[in-house]
Structure formats: C-alpha cells, structure tokens
Amino acid sequence: MGGCFSDVRGGKDAVGGALPRPTEPNAKNDGAHNDAIEFFYREHGAYPLFTQLELSFSASKLLDLDVTSKSDPMVVVYLKKNDGKLEELGRTEVILNNLNPVWIQKVSVAYQFEMVQNLIFRVYDVDTQYHNVPVKTLNLRDQEFLGEGSCVLSEIVTKQNRSLTLTLKGKNGHGGLRNFGTLTVHAEETIASRSAVEIKFRCAHLDNKDLFSKSDPFLRISRTVETGGSIPICKTEVVDNNLNPTWKPLCLSMQQFGSKDTPLVIECFDFNSDGNHVLIGKLQKSVADLEKLFKEKSGVNFFIPSSRADHEKVLKGQLFVDQFCEREQFSFVDYISSGFELNFMVAVDFTGSNGDPRKPESMHYIDPYGRLNSYQQAITEVGQVIQFYDADKSFPAWGFGGRTANGTVSHCFNLNGNASESEVVGVEGIMAAYANALRNVALSGPTLFGQVVNRAAEIAARSLSSNNNKYYVLLIITDGILTDLQETKDALVRASNLPLSILIVGVGNADFRQMEILDADKGQRLESSTGRIATRDIVQFVPMRDVQSGQISVVQGLLEELPGQFLSYMRSMDIKPLTFNAAAQASTA
Amino acid sequence: MAANSRTLEIKVISAENLKLDRKSVKKNASVTVRTDTNSQFCTTDIDTEGGAYPRWNEKLVLDLPTHSKSIIVEVHCKTSSGVRTIGTATVPASDFVGEYVPEGYLHFLSYRLRNHKGERNGIINISVRMKVPEMYACASSTTWSHSTMGFPAAGNKSFGGGVVTGVPVWYGAYQKNY
C-alpha cells in the first residue's frame, strides 16, 4: 500500500516554460482557450456567456505519507456534473517533498455565469516516477490520496481577492480525527494573447549553499497579482553543482507574464532533494527590463531580504539574459480569418448493426412523420458547424460497410450514388444523398474506417501540390464497434503528418471504448502494424448521447480539439497566416 | 536524366523512453542513420543532458540510391564499456515518398525502436525531406511560405523574410517513377 518513493529526477524538471515537441498542440501556453468556439458564437451574434479562468493552487499542512521523505503532492480538478459523474478538468504538476506546496501549473476552466459549477479538488501523493512523464498519464490508482475539497466556482470568483481556502477532508467527506490540511484556490481571468518570449538565463558568482559540493541552482519566476502576493508562473530545470549555471531557454506566453511591464519576481534557489530548497537570492524585473538586459549585455545583482526592516543585502551573484526573442503564436482564428480554409468530408456508417432501416428501432429508420433519426440528427447538428467553417459548402460524402447496387460490399462508396463525383452541396445535400443511399444500398458489414481515412488522406495530400492553406476534416458518423482496430490505426498513423483531422461522432448507446483508444488523449500515441508511430493526435471522438443529454453542445464537442490539431500542424510546418506573409513580402519589395 | 540517387535531409529530433538492460538510459545517446544498402551513414552528436529523453535537433544528409527501399535508424549509447545499441527502426521509403504528397514535403515521422531481442524500446522522432534537384524547382507566386528548412530550435528570426531556397510548389511535367 503506497511507498516511500520520491522521484528526485522528476523534482528537478522545469515546469511551465518548456518548449514542446513541434508536433504537440501547445495547449499549455494557450491556456486551453478555445477561440474556435467563441468565434462561432460571436459570428452568430451570441456573445459567449462565459469567461476563461485559470486556477492556481497552494496548500499547507498536507499529510505526510512518504516514509523516508515527504509527500510529493499533485492536485486533480474535477467538475461534478448533474448526474453526479466527475469530469476531470486538469492537473497541476507534481512537487517534490513538500507539505506546503505552491503549484505552478494552472488549470483552465470556463466560468459560466448562468450555471452552478461544482468543483472537486483532490490532492494526491505521487509515488510513481513522473520524470518526463506527462502528468495526465499518471494513474491515480497508483498514488496515495491526501485529501479532498469542494466548492462552487462562483464562490471563488466572488471573493474580493479571488482566493478561497478549503479545509481538506477524507474520501467520504468526513474530516475524522486526522487533520488533512488546507488547499487554497485562486482564480484569474486569462487573456488571449499571441505574444510569447523565449529567454535564456544565465547566472554568475552565485553563493554556495551546499556543504560538500556546490549549489544546485534553479530559477523560479512569479508574477505579482493585483490583489497582492505573487503567483509562480514557471521554474527552470535544476543544474547540478554549478555556481555559474546556464539553463535551457524558457518560453513564456503573455498569458503567463501579463504584460511586458508587469513586475516579475525572479528567485534563485539551491535545490535540495528533501524539498527544502534554500533561497540564494531574488530580484524583481519586468519582461521589458529583461529585454534591456539582453540588449545591453549587462547583469543585475540578486539581493536577499534582510531581517532589518527595509535593508536588503546586495549579493555578488548576478543574472544575465543570454537570449531574448519575441515570437508570435498565431491563434486558430488568425489563420481562418486570413484565408485558411477548412474543408469537411463526411462518412456514414452503413453496417448491419444499425438495424433494418425498415424497422422503427433501426438507427437508419426514416420516420414518415419527419422525426429525424440519430444519423439525421447528427448530420444536422454537426452540419451547422461545418457549414460555418467550410467556405464552398461542398462536401465529399461517403458511406462505408454497405452493399451497393453491383452486389459487393464497399467500405468507401459515394453517398450520392454517383460513380465518379463524391461531392454534395450543403447540409441539405448530405441529407438528400443519405436518404437516397438508404434506398439503394443494403446495410452490411464489417465496420472498417481504414478506406475512408485513406481516401481523405489522399485528398489532403493532393491539395499540398497547389497550396498549403487548406486543412481537411473528416467526419465519421458511426454506431460503433470497429471490426479491425489495427487497420484503422494503420490508416490514422499514415495520415498523421498531413493537414487532416478526423472527428468520430458516435450515435446510439454502444460501448465506445475503442474510439477512446483512437482519440489518444491519455497520452498513448497510436502505433501501426509496421512500427510507425503517429506524428500527432489527429482524432477526436464525440458521443452524440453527451450532446443530446445537454452535457456539452455539439459545437463544443466537435471544436474542442480541432484548433489544437490544426495549430500543431501549422506550427510544425512553420506555416503562418496569409496576411502575415503578404505584409512581410510587401516590406521587402 | 535519371539520377541514381536522391538526397535526403533527415533531421533527428528526439527520442523517448530509452532503456538499456531494463533501466532508463542516463546519458550519451546518439543516432546513426544509414541506407539499407549500407552505402552511407551519418551520426549525430552525443546528447549529454536528456538521459532517456534525448534531444538532438540535428540535420543529417544522406544520398539514397533509387533502388534503396528503406533507411535504418539506430540509437546508440556510449557507456563505460563501449558503444551499445539501444534500438533500431526501419523507415520504409514509402513513408516519405508518398504517391500524392509533393516532393520536398517536410515529413514529420516517428517510429517504434526495437532492441536486438525484438522488444520495444522507446520511440524515435525525425523529420525527412527529399531534396529536389535544382532544375525542377520553380518559385511560383503562390501562398507557399518560404520557410527556413526544418524549424528553428531557438527562434532566431534574423532572416528578414527573404526567400531562402526554391521549394517546388507546382511541377506540371515532372513524373515520379516509383
């Protein structure tokens, strides 16, 4: 039951400012801000009734569950839904050996004014290795539970200093005799910004705080908050045994540091594996000041606040900025409004598991009184989104798993019955082609996505010859169980480095666990049978029953991962929005 | 004129979860890329800091003979007892010479590494681009952004927005023979 293990290597990792792998969606720096959804609502005249918030956490007097060291705490945030189910919203990082931690990693949540949002916070002591492991893949069953707190989001927001301190309780809500400690949650609005800076720090002549060796320094950067106090935004990795260290470059978004003039507190600590890091020195500079340090190639001295009232001891140790570079991180809407096009394609499941279309229980039953079946509902609801984003409203539409007029089962036939052209116009076109296909195609099987994915990949690849401002989205509407998971994985892996995303919409009540494997959100990259691994996660899965029960809107479900997948492609290929290029060319002409 | 070899630009980006004898690699990983005909090979520098998750971001150039079917990527580790192979991956040429994808496309690819026993041992991330012979390059006036090769490791945008190399965007008459 549990252990005394503390992952010291994990404790030395940088947090909050690392440069991600080029093909990974840079979700952390974007603060999970989904401007695609906001844009959709705004253009329809509905201003979104929510604000994006970031929650930061600190705790005190946590339980010590590690035998030879202290607990290594991490917070997991859940939203309690109407049916009592918990939906995980995010996690902080793991802090080494600390019963009074101040976490750096923030959790984003949309504060919806008209809803009561019940949040549950659980603190865990991480006993497994977490060095270089994405926090979201840590299995909570392997960790030890330290305490739980809950509140309604509006309670935090309506406090004057936007902070709420909760007393942690045991698993069933009882305090019991044990003192679990307290958790403080602070909420702040996120500002969507596309500026980011990349800074490389170096120090010289740091004081030695270790007895038999040299200090192991790392920097922690915090931002001062309006309501007083400061919130940490990132920390560098630890450099062992070095009084003149250089750290890996940090990438900070304006969301993290506020503005170029916001004062930042930079503290230099000596790392100790027992969690009691010793402060070597601190200083206060804004990003604009750091830029000046870079340009003048000068250093600034650290100081130690002294016990005497306003006297600070100036230290020999200095901070230098060896690299400073501003970059722009364009948002999804920046690309779309500059002329990038999303092109949608639709594929409909014609397998026998849907049931005989002549019977009312079938998912393909066309009701004579006009009530839409599951597929028609999905097409209509999804259609409003894709019509909005697809400029020419002309969609290739296919069916799979059906027996066509010539007697053979096809896993990619044109829905409109046309032998050569697969395109239909508008959502009405898809509906008409669908109804038409039901009359001419017999439901069959098995359920295979591979061919449809390959066809979509072919279209996306062909488009690259003429330009690079198109991005393709394949919508697969299915009732569920895949017959050949590996074949689908192979097709997805092959398509993973193309400008393509796959949205799988599940209708009906089947067990969609397989689909969740394909939507590699838990961190497991898809692997093909030939040993190739998916370059990026291009799949997203939306179960229609979540939409119909009102848990999420279809817009939200579909557009949740799409901007991230789109941006990961554009950024890795170094493709910028069109207006940016035009301006650059004009200036050099 | 049929060239008997094509030039490949391979950027060895990073590797993940490397183990040696069931224990995570501590440091000194490097990568060798060679053609399956063994006609040529290139090696990256040693990564001293990343441990089991090394980053190289190093570009290697290889000439791939036209009859070659794949390239082999090997990850090594320099230990006190010598250089040991952590794992190997075979990259089939069909992964970067696509039927529909244009020449010169920057392919980001990742592969499962397997050790000498055939067991899975980590992932290698690379990018591959076929260099197109200059006579076929045409800088047409499309929206293709003439980006720098690969991607900047430390965003140093001192290029001033000038066009660097002609990347063929449209090649009407060129037929592929694969």
Average of per-residue pLDDT across A396-416: 92
Answer for the pair A27, B131: CB distance below 8 angstroms, yes or no: no
Report chain B residues whose CB lies below 8 A from the CB of A572. Answer: 108, 151
CA of A12, closest CA in chain B: separation in Å?
A: 13
- Flag whether residue A205 sits within 8 Å of chain B, measured between CB atoms: no
Residues A269 and A359 occupy one common structural domain: no
**Token representation of residue B149:** 């090769």
Same domain? A481 vs A348: yes
Short-list A171, A124, A122, CA closest to A143: A124
* A444 within a domain of the structure (yes/no): yes
Q: Which residue has the higher pLDDT, A51 or A294?
A: A294
Distance to chain A for B79, nearest Cα, Å: 20
Smallest Cβ–Cβ distance between B102 and the set A464, A525, A576 belongs to A464
CB nearest to A249's CB, from B101, B144, B154: B154
The pLDDT score that the predictor gives to residue A130 is: 82
Residue type, A418: N
Q: Is residue A46 part of a domain?
A: no
Number of domains making up chain B: 1
Mean pLDDT over all residues of chain B? 78
CATH of the domain at B75: 2.60.40.150
3-state secondary structure of A313: strand
Contact present, A280 and A317 (Cβ < 8 Å):
yes
Q: Are B50 and A13 in contact (CB under 8 A)?
A: no
Query: pLDDT class for A289, splitting at 50, 70, 90?
Result: very high
Domain that holds residue B88: 5-131
Burial A64-101 (b: 16+ CB within 10 A, else e): ebbeebbbbbbbbbbbbeeeeeeeebbbbbbbbbbbeb
Residues of A with Cβ-Cβ distance to B123 under 8 angstroms? 525, 533
> What's the N-to-C CA distance of chain A in angstroms?
69
For residue B51, being part of any structural domain is answered with yes
**SS3 state of residue A188:** strand
Closest C-alpha to A536, from A3, A27, A76: A27
Q: Are residues A498 and A415 in the same domain?
A: yes
Between A521 and A539, the more confident residue is A539
pLDDT of residue B143: 40
A466 touches chain B (CB under 8 A): yes
- Beta-sheet pairing, A402-403 with A442-443: antiparallel
Per the domain annotation, does B9 fall within a domain? yes
Residue pair A49/A112 in contact by the 8 Å Cβ criterion: yes
Say whether both A369 and A499 belong to one domain.
yes
- Is the Cβ pair A22, B151 closer than 8 Å? yes
The reported pLDDT for the residue numbered A333 is: 82
* Residue A487 pLDDT > 70: yes
Asked if residue A231 lies in contact with residue A370, where contact means CB atoms within 8 angstroms, the answer is no
Indicate yes or no: CB of A531 within 8 angstroms of CB of B114.
Answer: yes
Q: Which two tokens stand for residue A290?
A: 């750091």
Any domain includes B172: no
A128 in contact with B, Cβ within 8 Å:
no
Q: B109: which chain A residues are within 8 Å (Cβ-Cβ)?
A: 497, 532, 535
**Is residue B165 assigned to a domain?**
no
Residue A79 lies in a domain: yes
d(CA A479, CA A463) in angstroms, rounded, equals: 30
Out of A531, A535, A578, name the one closest to residue B89 (CB). Answer: A531
Under DSSP, the state recorded for A450 is: H
SS3 A364: coil
Last-in-domain residue among A192, A222, A245:
A192
Q: Is the pLDDT of residue B140 over 80?
A: no
Residues A548 and A443 in one domain: yes
Chain B residues with a Cβ under 8 Å from any Cβ in chain A: 13-14, 16-17, 51-53, 89-90, 92, 95, 98-102, 105-112, 114, 123, 125, 142-145, 147-148, 151-152, 154-157, 160-162, 169-171
**Mean pLDDT score, B144-153:** 43
Q: In 3D, which of A137, A140, A99, A135 has the Cα closest to residue A122?
A: A140
d(C-alpha A127, C-alpha A7), whole Å? 8
Is B125–A21 a contact, with Cβ atoms under 8 angstroms apart? yes
In B44-162, at which residue ranges do the beta strands (DSSP E only) sit? 55-65, 70-79, 82-92, 107-114, 120-131
Are residues A114 and A153 located together in one domain of the fold? Answer: yes
Q: Is A68 on the interface with B (CB under 8 A)?
A: no
Q: What is the pLDDT of residues B50-94, one digit of tens each?
A: 788 898 999 999 988 888 889 999 999 999 889 999 999 999 998
Q: CB–CB of A441/A406 below 8 Å? A: no
pLDDT for B167 equals: 53
Using a CB-CB distance cutoff of 8 angstroms, which residues of chain A are in contact with residue B111? 531-533
Q: Give the pLDDT confidence score for residue A177 in this predicted structure.
A: 66
Residue B139 has pLDDT above 60, yes or no: no
**CATH number of the domain where residue A487 is located:** 3.40.50.410
Tens digits of residue pLDDT in A260-279? 888 999 999 999 988 889 99
| Inter-residue contact A299 to A181 (CB < 8 Å) | no
* β pairing state of B55-65 and B5-16: antiparallel
Question: Which of A467, A572, A574 is the closest to B143 by Cβ?
Answer: A467
Nearest to A535 among B110, B114, B144 (CB): B110
pLDDT band for position A41 (cuts 50, 70, 90): confident
- Across all residues in chain A, what is the average pLDDT? 85
**C-alpha distance from residue A529 to each of A448, A489, A533, B17, B168 (Å):** 16, 8, 9, 20, 33
Angle ∠(A202,A205,A208) on CA atoms, nearest 5: 110
**CATH value at residue A171:** 2.60.40.150
| Burial state string for A215-253 with b = 16 or more CB within 10 A and e = fewer than 16 | bbbbbbbbbbbeeeebbbbbbbbbbeeebebebbbbbbb
On whether residue B116 sits in a domain, the answer given is yes
Select from A132, A534, A581 the Cβ nearest to the Cβ of B143: A581
Distance to chain B for A341, nearest Cα, Å: 13
Question: Which helix (H) or strand (E) segment is A240 a member of?
Answer: none
Which band of pLDDT confidence, cut at 50, 70 and 90, is reported for residue A379? confident
Q: Residue B153: is its pLDDT beyond 50?
A: no
Q: What is the pLDDT of residue A339?
A: 85
The ipTM (two decimal places) reads 0.72
Residues A398 and A282 in one domain: no
Q: Quick: pLDDT tens for A110-126.
A: 888 777 889 999 999 99
Confidence (pLDDT) at A490: 94
Q: Determine contact, residues B90/A530, Cβ cutoff 8 Å.
A: no
Please indicate if any CB of chain B lies within 8 Å of the CB of A527: yes
Query: Are A158 and A291 contained in the same domain?
Result: no
Tell whether A96 is covered by a domain.
Answer: yes
Query: Which residue of chain B has the CA closest to A339?
Result: B143
pLDDT tops 60 at residue B158: no
Interface test mutation site (partner A, options B17, B59, B106, B110, max chain A beta carbons within 10 A) = B110
Bridge partners (DSSP) of residue A474 are A345, A502
* Both tokens assigned to A341: 């096009």
- Residues A317, A424 within the same domain: no
Do both A439 and A294 map to the same domain? no
- Determine whether the interchain pair A198/B154 forms a contact, defined as Cβ–Cβ distance below 8 Å: yes
CA dist list (Å): A327 to A198, A324, A330, A404, A555? 8, 10, 9, 53, 31
A74: containing domain: 51-192
* C-beta atoms of A323 and B110 within 8 A: no
Q: Is A112 exposed, middle or buried (0-12, 13-18, 19+ CB in 10 A)?
A: middle
List of E strands, A329-468: 341-349, 394-400, 402-403, 409-410, 413-414, 423-425, 442-443
Residues A229 and A353 placed together within one structural domain of the fold: no
Residue A275: inside a domain, yes or no?
Answer: yes
Residue B86 in domain: yes
CA dihedral defined by A455, A456, A459, A462, rounded to 10 degrees? -90
The pair of three-digit structure tokens given for residue B60, joined into one six-digit string: 């290697």
Q: Do A425 and A483 sit in the same domain of this protein?
A: yes
pLDDT at B99: 77
Query: Among partner residues B89, B92, B161, which is closest to A588 by beta-carbon distance?
Result: B161
Q: Return the pLDDT at B3.
A: 59
Report yes or no on B88 lying in a domain: yes
Res. A374: pLDDT tops 70: yes
Q: Is the pLDDT of residue B163 over 50?
A: no
Q: How many Å lie between the alpha carbon of A537 and the closest alpha carbon of chain B?
A: 12
Distance CA(B87)–CA(B25), nearest Å, equals 12
Let me know if residue B143 belongs to a domain.
Answer: no
Domain count, chain A: 3
Compare all CA atoms of chain A with the CA of B121 and give the residue at the minimum distance.
A531
Give the pLDDT of residue A296. 93
CB contact under 8 A, A533 and B111: yes
| Closest Cα in chain A to B24 | A131
Give the type of residue at A543. P
Q: Which residues contact A407 (CB under 8 A, 6 or more apart)?
A: none
* Residue pair A394/A423 in contact by the 8 Å Cβ criterion: yes
Contact list, A465 vs chain B (CB under 8 Å): 100, 102, 169-171
Instruction: Identify the domain boundary among A274, A293, A328.
Output: A328
- By the 8 A CB rule, do A72 and A9 touch? no
More confident position, A456 or A194: A456
Residue A333 domain-assigned?
A: no
Q: Is residue A478 within 8 Å of residue A350, measured between CB atoms?
A: no
pLDDT at site A119: 95
Mean per-residue pLDDT for A187-194? 79
Q: How far is B145 from chain A (nearest CA, A)?
A: 6
Count of H-run helices and E-run strands, chain B? 0, 10
pLDDT in tens, A464-476: 988 878 999 999 9
How many CB atoms within 10 Å of residue A21?
18
A323 at B interface, C-beta within 8 A: yes
- From residue A224, how far is each of A109, A158, A286, A304, A314 by CA, in Å? 21, 20, 10, 18, 22
B145, A575: Cβ pair inside 8 Å?
A: yes
Residue of A nearest to B156 (CA): A325
The pLDDT, as a whole number, for residue B169 is 54
Does the distance separating the beta carbons of B157 and A534 come in below 8 Å? no
